[in-house]
Structure 1
Amino acid sequence: MKGMIVSRPTEGDLPVSLDDLGAAARERWGAWVTERHTSVVPNAVLTLEVEPPGEPEFTVEVMRGPRSINLDGTPVQNYATAAWLRSLMPADAPRVIVFDDAWSMHADLTYGCTAEGLRAGTVDHSVPGWDAGDPDLY
């Protein structure tokens, strides 16, 4: 699993501003992040290129709205970045999830979540009934 996406499962934008996201990225990654407001990806409004020492580089691509945020790091980087992104949103934000680009799994991004908690709470979509009783997902 290379790509993951942070989004709301229902209509609406993510409750985080581009300015807050850029400032938080500079605080988190410092000189290891390059911020671009142009992209070759259609509908992308902010790209964060992260080059942490001793780890593979990865990209955080914020789509217009922001409707969603695409992550292309390792699974460890993606879960950690997804948890960090959720920490930038209000505690009472509408439901936010992270899922892989094949829609074969998802995890709920609750306020205060951790990368380890996300990994442990991942819902496998190959398991029959994974979506039973969940009105937001299909």
Structure 2
Amino acid sequence: MTEPLVSAATLIETNANACYEAFADPTQMCRFWFPRSTGRLETGARVSWFLSDASDAIEIPVRVISAVSGTEIVLDWGDPDAPTRVTFNFEDRDGQTVIRITETGHAGSGDEKLATVLDSQGGFNQLVIAAKAWLEHGVAVDIVSAHVT
């Protein structure tokens, strides 16, 4: 059986370096994705993202495998014993950027894997549109706090 691949993409009307920085820089990323982060995404960094600003918010551990400015961020996140791998690609197209996000490595039974893949697929589709709103219009869309399961 082929491992499921989560994938989301969109065209953003700004350059690849600006798109990359929106994800790597926690002050920007927290405007359109997780509301709290402990640090910048750089190769070898270990940071935490939180589902809210509350002191008891659920923490998501993140380990940055590689970060190449303006090009790509690769990270492992989630359960430290069974993380998934997320890759953010930033493809320059004459001053515009195609951002592609993929995720692999979902664990569990067939039904458990299907549930996490579907949740991730929806989340990453929301993420690319929230990033587009932020980068093109300066609009902060709170997709994490608004997420309903």
TM-score range, shorter chain: 0.3 to 0.5
Tell me the TM-score normalized by structure 1. 0.45
TM-score for the superposition, normalised by structure 2: 0.43
Task: Looking at secondary structure, tell me which structure has more helix per residue.
Answer: 2
Greater length-normalized contact order (CA 8 Å, ≥ 6 residues apart): 2
